[in-house]
């Protein structure tokens, strides 16, 4: 049954029906559709736009439909045009004429905008919960590996010492910002478009603040044209999800590198890796690779909604029906990525010895050698140059700053004395980096504590 057959003399062609239909996608919002309709009917009753008796019949009917869909007693009819048509049709089937009064002072344009907002708020919270889980795992790791020295990199070249705990907490910071972005996006999503109607409001004495309040919104969309046309909240969530996907993808890339034979910094648990059908020695980081790959899909979803919206005039246009497939896909993808990534992270083995060996071999204490000369009164630029010469000499002699004899040091500068060995000691190099946010062990433990406090 169509909601709009009045002015038509012919049935729509099957091709038109199939092409037009969105039930396959919007059936996912049945709960929100019913929730919105209950609020609308309640308001219509309070305002005397429909009788209290009809309002009650509608509300009870809708509650029963919801319970029946939830329990599986009622199946959503996939031949309906959309979820709004289905619920209204089912309601009228059950309660008769009163059901036909539900759509007074409402259009599917404000209805769908409302359903999407309600649904995205719920999904926003579900993603946030997963972010809390990953942050909590990272905070635990931050604490556990606060003293596990490893090389930090720039240009993927060993640069300066950090700790594995410090590294994990860097990702915790990214996910904390993702949470802030989601919370901010949620504020703007929680505005009610209900009552904007088709585009130009209504002549009925509706109470939009009442429906907004009943639905738990922070307020209403203040312009009826904007209320039905705005999909910024979809764009915003999609862009928040893209940023989460960037973070997960970078993290995945590190994990893929770290479990390679070249690094051997970590080993993934057998339960969270896969084998090769031909190469018996292989243990592949498939989850991390898929997460890295799926980021592309989430960005694609973001590009879809931007492109759908960029050229359409106010107010509602059918193009906007395309908003749902992409945002639902982005949500499901990011949720699936986080769900697989978290246990993979939790169960991986950290190979502290290999990290330490890598830290010892890459002259990551060269800055500390230069800083040692600076502490003797030498300008940094000169100290930098002398240290560069020492590093080149060590490379030629196949030795390290820790092992170079003092008389060799002295050939580069008379300022060197026994103190150089504690200055270039790896632990000390790390422990001394006490600047705010740096990798000194105590600093890292404090960072972990701060993160834990933030997620409660
Ligand atoms: N399925 C439509 C959508 O998702 C619902 C709104 C239909 N409105 C209309 N004027 N045809 O956008």
pLDDT score, position 333: 98
**Which one of 9, 71, 155, 277 is the catalytic residue?**
155
Q: Tell me: pLDDT of 280 over 90.
A: no
Q: Is 84 an annotated catalytic residue?
A: no
- Ligand 1 centre from 235 Cα, in Å? 18
Query: Which residues, 6+ apart, have CB-to-CB distance to 189 below 8 Å?
Result: 117, 120, 121, 124, 233, 236, 237
E strand or H helix that includes residue 67: helix 52-71
Looking at residue 8, what DSSP letter applies? -
pLDDT-based confidence at residue 273 (cuts at 50, 70, 90): confident
- What is the atom index within ligand 1 of the atom nearest the CA of 116? 4
- Ligand 1 centre from 20 Cα, in Å? 9
pLDDT score, position 53: 98
pLDDT-based confidence at residue 282 (cuts at 50, 70, 90): confident
What is the C-alpha to C-alpha distance for residues 294 and 85, in angstroms, rounded to an integer? 34
Report percent pLDDT > 90 for the chain: 91
Protein residue whose Cα sits closest to atom 11 of ligand 1? 318
How many contiguous H segments (helices) and E segments (strands) does the chain have? 20, 6
Q: Tell me: pLDDT of 104 over 80.
A: yes
Phi, psi of 192, rounded to the nearest 5 degrees: -85, 125
What would the DSSP string read from start to end of 274-296? B--SS-TT--B-HHHHHHHHHHH
Phi, psi of 161, rounded to the nearest 5 degrees: -75, 140
Max CA distance (Å), the chain: 101
pLDDT score, position 13: 85
Report percent pLDDT > 70 for the chain: 99
Tens-digit pLDDT profile for residues 299-344: 999 999 999 999 999 999 999 999 999 999 999 999 999 999 999 9
pLDDT score, position 99: 97
- What is the atom index within ligand 1 of the atom nearest the CA of 84? 5
Q: Tell me: pLDDT of 276 over 90.
A: no
Protein residue whose Cα sits closest to atom 2 of ligand 1? 321
Torsion, Cα 171 177 180 186, to 10 degrees, reads -80
Chain-centre distance for alpha carbon 94 = 41
Query: Which residues, 6+ apart, have CB-to-CB distance to 154 below 8 Å?
Result: none
At 162 the three-state DSSP class reads: strand
pLDDT score, position 294: 98
- What is the atom index within ligand 1 of the atom nearest the CA of 4? 11
- Ligand 1 centre from 8 Cα, in Å? 18
pLDDT score, position 228: 98
Q: What is the mean pLDDT of residues 36-58?
A: 98
- Mean pLDDT over all residues of the chain? 95
pLDDT score, position 433: 92
Q: Is 276 an annotated catalytic residue?
A: yes
pLDDT-based confidence at residue 59 (cuts at 50, 70, 90): very high
Tens-digit pLDDT profile for residues 287-311: 999 999 999 999 999 999 999 999 9
Domains (range + CATH), the chain: 13-104 (1.10.275.10), 109-139+163-202+218-352 (1.20.200.10), 358-454 (1.10.40.30)
pLDDT score, position 28: 98
**Which one of 51, 79, 260, 276 is the catalytic residue?**
276
- Ligand 1 centre from 2 Cα, in Å? 13
Of 285, 249, 250, whose CA–CA distance to 267 is shortest? 285
pLDDT score, position 277: 76
Residue to probe by mutation, ligand 1, list 27, 36, 112, most atoms within 8 Å of CB: 112
- Ligand 1 centre from 65 Cα, in Å? 22
pLDDT score, position 2: 75
User: Any idea what the Cα angle at residue 25 is, between residues 178 and 123, rounded to 5°?
Assistant: 25
Of 22, 135, 35, whose CA–CA distance to 81 is shortest? 22
Q: Are 292 and 253 in contact (CB under 8 A)?
A: yes
Q: Are 217 and 309 in contact (CB under 8 A)?
A: no
The label of the residue with tokens 């479990």 reads 259
Predicted TM-score (pTM) of this structure: 0.94
Residue to probe by mutation, ligand 1, list 230, 321, 323, 325, most atoms within 8 Å of CB: 321
Q: Tell me: pLDDT of 278 over 80.
A: no
pLDDT score, position 329: 98
Tokens of 300: 């694609």
pLDDT score, position 258: 98
pLDDT score, position 8: 78
Q: Tell me: pLDDT of 198 over 80.
A: yes
What would the DSSP string read from start to end of 313-382? PSS--GGGGGHHHHHHHHHHHHHHHHHHHHHHHHHPEE-HHHHHHHHHHTTTTHHHHHHHHHHTT--HHH
371-381: string of b/e by CB count within 10 Å (b at 16+)? Answer: bbbeeeebeee
Ligand 1: lining residues by beta carbon, under 6 Å: 22, 26, 82, 108-109, 112, 316, 318, 320-321
What would the DSSP string read from start to end of 72-92? TSS---TTSSSHHHHHHHHHH
- Ligand 1 centre from 428 Cα, in Å? 65
pLDDT score, position 7: 77
Q: What is the mean pLDDT of residues 393-399?
A: 94
Tens-digit pLDDT profile for residues 147-183: 999 999 999 999 999 999 999 999 999 999 999 999 9
């Amino acid at each position: 049954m169509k909601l709009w057959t009045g002015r038509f003399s012919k049935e729509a062609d099957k091709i038109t029906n199939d092409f037009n239909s969105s039930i396959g996608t919007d059936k996912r919002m049945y709960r929100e559709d019913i929730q919105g309709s209950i609020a609308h009917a309640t308001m219509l009753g309070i305002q005397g736009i429909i009788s209290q008796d009809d309002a009650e019949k509608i509300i009870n009917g809708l509650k029963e439909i919801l319970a029946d869909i939830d329990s599986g007693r009622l199946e959503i009819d996939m031949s309906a045009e959309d979820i709004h048509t289905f619920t209204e049709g089912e309601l009228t089937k059950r309660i008769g004429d009163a059901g036909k009064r539900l759509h007074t002072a409402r259009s599917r344009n404000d209805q769908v905008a409302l359903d999407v907002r309600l649904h995205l708020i719920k999904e926003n919270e579900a993603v946030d919960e997963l972010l809390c889980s990953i942050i909590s795992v990272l905070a635990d790791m931050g604490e556990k590996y606060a003293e596990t020295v490893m090389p930090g990199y720039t240009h993927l070249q060993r640069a300066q010492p950090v700790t594995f705990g410090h590294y994990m907490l860097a990702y915790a910071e990214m996910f904390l910002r993702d949470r802030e972005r989601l919370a901010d996006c949620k504020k703007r999503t929680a505005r009610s478009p209900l009552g904007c109607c088709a585009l130009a409001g209504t002549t009925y004495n509706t109470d939009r603040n009442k429906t907004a309040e009943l639905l738990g919104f922070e307020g209403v969309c203040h312009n009826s044209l904007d209320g039905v046309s705005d999909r910024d909240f979809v764009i915003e969530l999609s862009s928040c999800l893209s940023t989460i996907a960037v973070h997960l993808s970078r993290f995945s890339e590190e994990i893929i590198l770290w479990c390679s034979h070249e690094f051997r910094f970590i080993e993934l648990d057998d339960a969270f890796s896969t084998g090769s059908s031909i190469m018996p020695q292989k243990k592949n980081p498939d989850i991390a690779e898929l997460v890295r790959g799926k980021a592309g899909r989430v960005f694609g979803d973001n590009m879809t909604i931007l492109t759908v919206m960029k050229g359409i005039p106010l107010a509602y246009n059918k193009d906007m029906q395309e908003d749902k497939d992409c945002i639902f896909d982005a949500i499901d993808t990011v949720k699936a990525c986080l769900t697989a990534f978290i246990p993979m992270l939790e169960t991986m083995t950290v190979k502290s010895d290999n990290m330490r060996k890598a830290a010892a071999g890459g002259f990551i204490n060269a800055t500390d050698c230069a800083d040692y000369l600076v502490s003797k009164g030498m300008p940094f630029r000169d100290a930098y140059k002398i240290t560069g010469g020492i590093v080149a000499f060590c490379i030629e002699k196949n030795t390290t700053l820790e092992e170079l004899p003092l008389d060799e040091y002295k050939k580069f500068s008379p300022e060197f004395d026994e103190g150089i060995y504690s200055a270039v000691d790896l632990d000390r190099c790390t422990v001394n980096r006490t600047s705010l946010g740096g990798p000194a062990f105590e600093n890292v433990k404090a960072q972990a504590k701060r993160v834990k406090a933030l997620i409660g």
